[in-house]
Structure formats: structure tokens, C-alpha cells
Chain A
Amino acid sequence: MNAAPLARRPLGCLKASLRQARQQRTTAAAPAAFLARQLSTVTPTVAGTGALPEHNFFRMIDKKTKKTRSAFAVYAQPPPVPATTAAQATLLPAPPPDPMPHLAAEQIKSMDPTGARTALFTKTRYAARVGDVLMVTHRRGGEPFAGVCLAIRRNGIDTSVLLRNHLSKVGVEMWYKVYNRNVAGIEIVKRRAKRARRAKLTYMRQPKHDMGSVADLVFAWKKTRKVIGSKPGAGKGAQSAKKRK
């Protein structure tokens, strides 16, 4: 036992120091035995013999006598399974504990190969945010729907946006699934001047905060994009910028 640290300490903690030193001596002298006592219920693994998989013994120890009351062979978890019967060499990896993100990534990859839709709604400075005026064009023609974005639900393949507009002075709200095939493209018509300090702008339904129709904003934006051009083919530049499926 090292006496030097003992001398530096007040006498009151002598007992604690002795206990500590005793503990250290025990663990230093026989670390293996110390560990073994901690994990006394499980024996070292026995390699698989013949047809049997590898196993170890789980001991049930009597609390009073500290003797092994009983012991059972506990076999190892099943080994990886061959991926295909043709190629026995390749083994299936252990499935992830949470498959949902993997599945979502797979789905998004197939529904949005260019990554444009994903980029539009991941949280970057270029992405669309609540408060922006967005316009959704449909795959099967029809009038595009524009409106102020009240909410964005980011949920993998189910990611969707809520747009609000006024059509013939009646408030209209539409949820759009971003990765749906029916959505041909989503464009930002006008960005909100200042970042919204709410995630959901439901207060914009109140008359006091309602933006009203965004038709004039869309018209102005189309003018700048030359969608409503004087000569045919003027809108081509705008078309190519669209996120197309």
C-alpha cells in the first residue's frame, strides 16, 4: 500500500482511504478473478461441435451457498443466412433495428431520382420555407395551384405541403404530397421577406393575417419568367427550370 497519499490526507478519511487501497489491491492482484466474479453467471463460450452451434453455460447460483444450483447450455444467436441460394458465399447482413429511414431513402430514390424535390424541402437556405408562395403544377394538365405555404410536413416519402389561396374570394387550402406522381413540379413564386418564426402559420387563416389571393403575385412572377410571352417558345426557359418527374 502506498503511504504517501495517506499522509497528505486528514486523519478523518483514513478509513475511506484504507478501503480504497484494499479495493485497488484486490483488483490489481487478480483482475481476471475480479472480472470472473462479476460475470459469474456465464461461462466462456464453447465452440460449436459437429452439428451443434456454439454455446456457453448459464449458471443459476444459489444465493445462500454461492454454489451452482443448476446450469443450462445457452446457444448462440442464429448465424447470418445466405442471401441467395445461388450465391452461398454472400451472407445477408443483419437487418437494421429501425428499417424506416432505409425504406424512406429507397422510396425517395425511386420517386425523385434527380433529388430536386428533396432539395426543395430539406432545411437549407435555398429551400422553400413556410410563408413562401409556392405554385404546384399537375401532371395531367389542369390549372396550377398557387398559394402561401402554411406548413411543411417532413416525413420521408410522405412529405407534404399545405398551400392556402383565395379562389373567388373563398379561402382554399390544399395539401400536396411532394413525391406524388400527380405533382409535376413545385416552384417558388415569392419568398417571404423575413423568416417566419413559427413552424406552422395557421394564424394566417385569421382575417387579420390572411394574405388573400396570391393571383397577382403569380401573375407578376410569370411576367418576369416570360411565361406569358408575346412570341411562342418564350416560356421554354421557365419550363426547363421546373422540377420534372
Chain B
Amino acid sequence: MAPQLPTRCWRQLQQPSLQSLTLALARPTPSALLLPRTTTRGVKYGWSTLPSRAKPARFNQVSSGLPAPTTGPAAALKRRERTTPMRTGVLAIKKGMTAFMGKTGSRIPCTVLQLDKVQTVANKTRASNGYFAVQVGLGERRPDNVGAPMLGYFEAKGLAPKRVLAEFHVRDQSGLLPVGVQLLPDWFHVGQWVDVRANSHGKGFAGGMKKHGFKGQGASHGNSLAHRAIGTTGPSQGGGSRVLPGKKMPGRMGNERVTMQNLPVLMVNNELGIVVVKGCVAGPKGCVVKIQDAVKKPPPAKEFIEASRKVLDERFPDAAETLTAARVKHLQLKEMRKQGRIEDMLAAGVVVDGAETVVASEVTV
């Protein structure tokens, strides 16, 4: 495309007569100094004073024969499609380990995970967040232990404040759930595989032998106070005389997220609220764990997924209504808080009821 003359230049050119223009070009005046230093100017030499044309966007499209972009949100979602579970997982609390005695005399060590008032709190969508996920909450928390922003958040959801919130990525729109439904252990079935992630036991500041399995040094042969030392951290002059990045050193050990993949589910019990998985799970008793369908194993049968989704709808038929009413009420209370009228409202004993005063459809979801 032809180079463009800046506006500040040609506007000056338009105003004076042709003669003064040539004079201006002949003698370098302060205004002429602003012009680009080109010997010959004119349309035929490639100059143009026309307004800029639209960008030739149509040549940059996939439809013009270019390959689909391999970066960006769409590509990222496509890339992770196979490794993203179909449906959400749940939060649970590790209660301890026990064993199952098999019929053939085998002993299967297992971990008991308990679901405590696990509710869906929000949905993340591709349109608004760039990915699909379900936010899930666990347990309960005293309101005086919750900050104002989160109190408002839970108020808008119509839920009691939760102890922990976590997101579970799902593959697409079909994996999203209504807000406020409670997930029970029967969300999983016996025999399916799950991935369980939790933070491991914190070991504090640990040395190289404990943290990375270094050998340490000899007990004798003149060793002095260096029995568990890590030894050298790199070569000397000639090798750079520096410590290479990533060198394993003593430091904080543990308390990092550990994922146990492909654990079979041995038992689900709604009365006790437990999911029992085979094998061990990282972390101490009482720690919060995330359970989700295994990524590297086939997902639960389509029939089971549909059935468990249907059970949710039957158990919580008015989840959508509750959410809408809570949102309406939240907006009204928020307005009152803004105006500083909330104390008067409470003193007068006025109960705001969103569902009656505002039509549900007016609220943008």
C-alpha cells in the first residue's frame, strides 16, 4: 500500500496558494521542516492523501485457505477436549484409610472420602470466561468468618457460605449444572475410575536427602559435620562458576498438589456421605480433596451420566427459581447497602422479597 502523508502535513499544503507552496518547498521554513524528507512528492510517486482503506481482513480468514490457528482460546479448548472430563467432580474431606477384604482373601487398602454439603455454586462458560467449568462448594462457614465480598457472592446465589470453593473444568455446555444443587456420593458409581487430587503433607524445610533422595556423605573417612550435606552445587571455573537454574536444593517440601490417577471407586454410600476409593490419597486426614472422573480412563457410561443428571433434576426441581429469586433479592439489598438504607430496613423489619416485586425475566442471568 502507498505510504500516507500525515494529516498535519497536507492540511498545511491545502491552505496556501500553489506559488507559496513551491516557495515553501524551495526554502526550508520551520513549517517545511515538518514535511518528510523526500525529494519528489506526488500521487504518481506513490504519495497519497486519501483516507486509509479498510484492512484487507478477508485475506486473513480460515475461509481463504489458511490453516486454522493453533493458538487462542478456541484452539486451546479443542486441544484439551480429550483430556477434559465430561462432567463436574466433587469436593470431599479425607477421613482416613481402611481396607476392604475381598472374597478371594485379598486385602484392598482404600481411602474414605466424605462429601459434606457439596453444592454447585456457579458455572463458567466459554462466552464469559473462556472455558467451561462448574464451581463447587463444600462444608459450611460462619458468616462472621467471611468477608463482605464473599457474603454478597453467596447472597446472590441463595446459598449458605461455603468452607471451600473449587472449579472443575468440563468439556462443554452439557457438563454444566444448575446452581445450588447438592451432589451426593451417588454422583459416582462403584467400579468407575476417578482422579483424586489433594495437597500432600507439608514436611517443612527439608534437606537434600529427604527432599530429593540425595545420597548424603560418608559417616567416616574424615567427614566433618557434612554427613547429610548435598555436596557440590556445580562445577567451578570452566563450567561457568555458577549454579544452574533448577538445581535441586534443600527447601520447603510437601504441601503441593498431588494427583492420584485412575483410582477405582469401591463404594458409594449416601447415608454415610462417603466415596471409598482404592489406594491412598495425598494429604493428612481432614484435608480437602477433589474427586473427578479419571482423564486417562473411559468416562462413566452415557446412560449413567444421563441418569445421574436426571436424579439431580428430580431432587432439586426448583433450583433455577431459587437462583433467580436470590439474584433479585441480592440486587435490591445491594442497592440498599449502596444508599445506606440497610439499617433502617432491618430496624423496620422490612423483608425484601424479590420474587414478588420484580418479574423474574427482568433479571439478566
Per DSSP, chain B at the interface is: mixed
Closest Cβ of chain A: how far from B117's Cβ, in Å?
6
Q: Is the CB of B274 within 8 A of A51?
A: no
Find chain A residues with CB under 8 A from B115 CB: 95
Q: Is the CB of A59 within 8 A of B101?
A: no
**A41-58 interface mask toward B, CB cutoff 8 Å, 1 = contact, 0 = none?**
111001001111100011
Contact partner of A139 (CB less than 8 A), chosen from B101, B105, B143, B353, is: B105
Minimum CB distance partner of A70 in chain B: B337
Say yes or no: is A211 at the interface (Cβ < 8 Å to chain B): no
Minimum CB distance partner of A182 in chain B: B105
Say yes or no: is B62 at the interface (Cβ < 8 Å to chain A): no
Find chain A residues with CB under 8 A from B144 CB: 41, 58
Find chain A residues with CB under 8 A from B99 CB: 157-158
Q: Which listed segment binds B: A16-24, A96-104, A190-198, A226-234?
A: A96-104
Q: CA separation between A102 and B325, bound complex, in Å?
A: 39
Contact partner of B102 (CB less than 8 A), chosen from A51, A52, A77, A181, is: A181
Number of A-B contacts (CB under 8 A): 143
Find chain A residues with CB under 8 A from B101 CB: 107, 111, 157, 177, 179-181
Contact partner of A77 (CB less than 8 A), chosen from B103, B117, B351, B355, is: B117
Find chain B residues with CB under 8 A from A204 CB: none
Q: How many residues of B contact A (CB 8 A)?
A: 59
Q: Is the CB of A74 within 8 A of B329?
A: no
Say yes or no: is B89 at the interface (Cβ < 8 Å to chain A): no
**A67-108 interface mask toward B, CB cutoff 8 Å, 1 = contact, 0 = none?**
110111111111001110100000011011011101110010
Q: Is the CB of B353 within 8 A of A50?
A: yes
In the complex with contacts A103-B274, A182-B105, A50-B325 CB distance below 8 A: yes
Find chain A residues with CB under 8 A from B225 CB: none
Q: CA separation between A164 and B143, bound complex, in Å?
A: 58
**A151-164 interface mask toward B, CB cutoff 8 Å, 1 = contact, 0 = none?**
00000111000000
Closest Cβ of chain A: how far from B276's Cβ, in Å?
8
Find chain B residues with CB under 8 A from A104 CB: 98
Q: CA separation between A42 and B104, bound complex, in Å?
A: 57
In the complex with contacts A51-B322, A103-B112, A74-B103 CB distance below 8 A: no
Say yes or no: is B324 at the interface (Cβ < 8 Å to chain A): yes
Q: How many residues of A contact B (CB 8 A)?
A: 49
Q: CA separation between A238 and B140, bound complex, in Å?
A: 57
Q: CA separation between A182 and B154, bound complex, in Å?
A: 53
Say yes or no: is B2 at the interface (Cβ < 8 Å to chain A): no
Contact partner of A60 (CB less than 8 A), chosen from B148, B155, B355, is: B148
Say yes or no: is B165 at the interface (Cβ < 8 Å to chain A): no
Say yes or no: is B306 at the interface (Cβ < 8 Å to chain A): no
Q: Is the CB of A99 within 8 A of B184?
A: no
**A215-244 interface mask toward B, CB cutoff 8 Å, 1 = contact, 0 = none?**
000000000000000000000000000000
Q: Is the CB of A51 within 8 A of B342?
A: no
Contact partner of B114 (CB less than 8 A), chosen from A59, A74, A95, is: A95
Closest Cβ of chain B: how far from A163's Cβ, in Å?
17
Contact partner of A74 (CB less than 8 A), chosen from B143, B330, B337, B351, is: B143
Say yes or no: is B152 at the interface (Cβ < 8 Å to chain A): yes
Say yes or no: is B242 at the interface (Cβ < 8 Å to chain A): no
Q: CA separation between A59 and B345, bound complex, in Å?
A: 12
Closest Cβ of chain B: how far from A73's Cβ, in Å?
5
Q: Is the CB of A103 within 8 A of B98?
A: yes
Say yes or no: is B119 at the interface (Cβ < 8 Å to chain A): yes
Closest Cβ of chain A: how far from B75's Cβ, in Å?
39
Q: CA separation between A116 and B189, bound complex, in Å?
A: 33
Q: Is the CB of A51 within 8 A of B324?
A: yes
Q: Which listed segment binds A: B124-132, B166-174, B204-212, B313-321?
A: B313-321
Q: Is the CB of A74 within 8 A of B155?
A: yes
Minimum CB distance partner of B338 in chain A: A70
Minimum CB distance partner of A94 in chain B: B273
Minimum CB distance partner of B96 in chain A: A100
Find chain B residues with CB under 8 A from A92 CB: 184, 270-271
In the complex with contacts A71-B343, A81-B182, A99-B95, A180-B274 CB distance below 8 A: no
Find chain A residues with CB under 8 A from B119 CB: 78
Q: Is the CB of A103 within 8 A of B337?
A: no
Q: CA separation between A191 and B189, bound complex, in Å?
A: 47
Find chain A residues with CB under 8 A from B272 CB: 95-96, 99, 102-103
Q: CA separation between A179 and B105, bound complex, in Å?
A: 9
Closest Cβ of chain A: how far from B109's Cβ, in Å?
9
Which residues 110-144 in A have Cβ within 8 Å of B in the complex?
Answer: 111, 139
Between A and B, 15 residue pairs with Cβ closer than 8 Å are A49-B351, A49-B355, A51-B355, A53-B158, A57-B346, A58-B144, A70-B148, A74-B160, A76-B160, A78-B182, A81-B270, A99-B114, A100-B96, A107-B101, A180-B107
Given contacts A49-B355, A72-B152, A181-B101, 18 further A-B contacts (CB under 8 A): A50-B355, A52-B322, A52-B326, A53-B322, A59-B346, A60-B148, A71-B342, A74-B160, A75-B158, A76-B160, A77-B117, A85-B311, A99-B272, A99-B274, A100-B112, A107-B98, A158-B99, A180-B101
B interface list, Cβ under 8 A from A: 95-96, 98-105, 107, 112, 114-117, 119, 140, 143-144, 148, 151-152, 154-155, 158-161, 182, 184, 269-274, 276, 311, 314-315, 318, 321-322, 324-326, 329-330, 333, 337, 342-343, 346, 351, 353-356
A interface list, Cβ under 8 A from B: 41-43, 46, 49-53, 57-60, 67-68, 70-78, 81-83, 85, 92-93, 95-96, 98-100, 102-104, 107, 111, 139, 156-158, 177, 179-182
